[in-house]
Chains A and B, each alone.
Chain A
Amino acid sequence: MKRFLAVFLGILTAIGGFVDIGDLVANSQTGTRFGMNLAWAVVLGVIGIIVYAEMCGRVAALAGRPVFDLVRERLGPRVGLANLLASFFINFLTLTAELAGVAIALSLASSVSYLLLIPFVAFLVWLVIWRMPFETMERVFGLLGLCLLVFAVTVWKVGPDWGSLFHTASHPQVPGTETGFTYAYFAIALFGAAMTPYEVFFFSSGAVEERWTEKDLATNRANVLIGFPLGGLLSLAIMASADLILGPAGIDVGQLSQVALPVASALGRVGLAVVLVGIFAATFGAALETALSAGYIVSQYMGWMWGKYVRPRQASRFHLVVLLSIGAAMIFGLTRVDPVKVTEYSIVLSAAALPLTYFPILVIANDPSYMGDKTNGRFLNAVASIYLVILVVLSIVTIPLLIITKGGTG
């Protein structure tokens, strides 16, 4: 049982990264517009995050250093600061969107305006961070997030032609109604959602919070090999259910409420209730992940005491950053910004900053003074280097693509 519970850090990290509010909508949207023709982007992203999350978990276990420590150490204070500002900004946008996302999920269940619920949600997120033990937090929200598996049940219930679904996924092409640019844009959005930097900030800091040591290397491997593929599976199930049910009905997804439609139509009220719990947990989990990451990265750059494993008063600057981030995100959310647009942009923008986060992880994972004899093997380095090249290419093409496709609409 203890081993089973030990993988929830990976599960919560993955759910918060793969199926937060922007991704829920982006996955449904991709399903209706591209069918399964973009499934490969999710798979590519899952492999990438497995490779890098395993490395940063291993560094955290062996050297006790979380990712943003490595960023400053290997890139120096200047480039480290540039990365800090970019990551903090992207993280803030995501946090804003998640607070609104949780509020929307609650308003779907209660028919209270979501704007009225935002301050309540913000308080709840802060309260969980302030009081709930780290491990309870990851188990509660990781477990509830598994309700999203109801999308997989939906696909199974519809009973699709598995052969043709798999054929489209394995022989991808650009549908006639779309351009190569929009195809590339959505591919980056899916890949970027899988590799969002706050996942490695949260995962590696979480490993330090849980006091991982060399004995936990197996736990690390189990976390990444169970958590991230599960996140990818959820992502693909949402895509497939939208492809099978919303696509033929001619519904183009633009809001969170539409994401639940396939489940409601295939499984009725019970399905709807389960999926709402799942959406609540996933967006709430992502809000926790981004709010904590804000505190983690600032504190780690500055060398401050951080974390939930000490009393709040012993890490007061860390808690202040978290509190101010949640407060500012709440205010920004109350201006009625569209949470879906905000996360979509933040994912694409984060693609531009990704190499600055992943490169230092790769360098340290090869440094024997940190890792002893547990440095990367050749094969792992080859795969990780290929991903680094992909990330650098993406960081260059992403923003032009964002402009050309007008955020995927054109």
Chain B
Amino acid sequence: MTGRILYAGLELLDHQLRDRDGRLCGNVDDLEVERSPDTGELYVTAIVAGPGALLQRMGRRRLGGWIERANRLVGDQGRDRNIIPLALATRIGPNIDLAVDAEDLATADTERWVRDHLIGHLPGNRHRAPE
């Protein structure tokens, strides 16, 4: 995946993320970019996913910052699970496939909360419609 030229705004931003099992696990809400010290060109190094990042990109810096901090309190303090290194992307197309488990991403936090506290208590929540 190194060195591919992409129109980041068109081909990455706001695209759907899928985990290694094809589960939908957030959108590309923002990107981390670094300037190469040799050539001075910009490289996308990571995908940022989560409502906090999205709000910051939309100019709501303070609100976005609060949400990010709240997210960090709930999750693993040590690392920023919001940030997904681009090296983990196995395919970049209409959907972006990641070599990760959806449950390990920050975007799964609210899903887990809603499941554990609300939807998981309703009868039939494990039921799957037959094909």
Tell me, yes or no, whether A binds B: yes
Residues on A facing B (Cβ under 8 Å): 63-65, 69, 72-73, 76-78, 80-81, 130-134, 302-306, 308-314, 316-317, 319-320, 369-370
Residues from chain A with Cβ under 8 Å of B49 in the complex:
303
Known: A77-B14, A306-B24. A317 touches B124 (CB 8 A): no
Q: Is B122 touching A312 in the complex (CB atoms < 8 A)?
A: yes
Q: Give the residues from 1 to 27 in chain B that come closer than 8 angstroms, CB to CB, to chain A.
A: 11, 13-17, 23-27
A residues within 8 A CB of B118?
Answer: 316, 320
* Residue from the list B17, B119, B127 in contact with A303, Cβ < 8 A: B17
User: Which among B38-46, B70-78, B79-87, B107-115 touches the partner chain?
Assistant: B107-115
Instruction: Closest A residue to B22 by CB, please name it.
Output: A64
Contact count A vs B, C-beta below 8 Å: 91
On whether the beta carbons of B119 and A320 are closer than 8 Å, the reply is yes
Q: Contact check, B16 vs A134: say whether CB atoms are below 8 A apart.
A: no
Shortest distance in angstroms between B79's beta carbon and chain A's nearest beta carbon? 21
Q: Which residues from chain B contact A134 at a C-beta distance below 8 Å?
A: 129
- A131 to chain B: which residues have CB within 8 Å? 124, 127, 129
Q: Is the CB of B114 within 8 A of A369?
A: no
Are A316 and B126 closer than 8 Å at their CB atoms? no
Contact partner, A76, options B14, B107, B120, Cβ 8 Å: B14
In the complex, are the beta carbons of A69 and B16 less than 8 A apart?
yes
Within 8 A of A (CB), among B25-73: 25-27, 29, 49, 51, 54, 57-58
The interface residues of chain A lying within 8 Å CB-to-CB of B119 are 312-313, 316, 319-320
* Alpha-carbon distance between A314 and B114 when the two chains are bound, in angstroms: 10
> Which A residues are CB-close (under 8 A) to B29?
77, 303
Shortest CB distance B106–A (Å):
12
CA A81 to CA B27, docked complex, whole Å = 14
A313: B residues at CB distance < 8 A: 115, 119-120, 125-126
Query: A65 to B95, Cβ gap below 8 A?
Result: yes
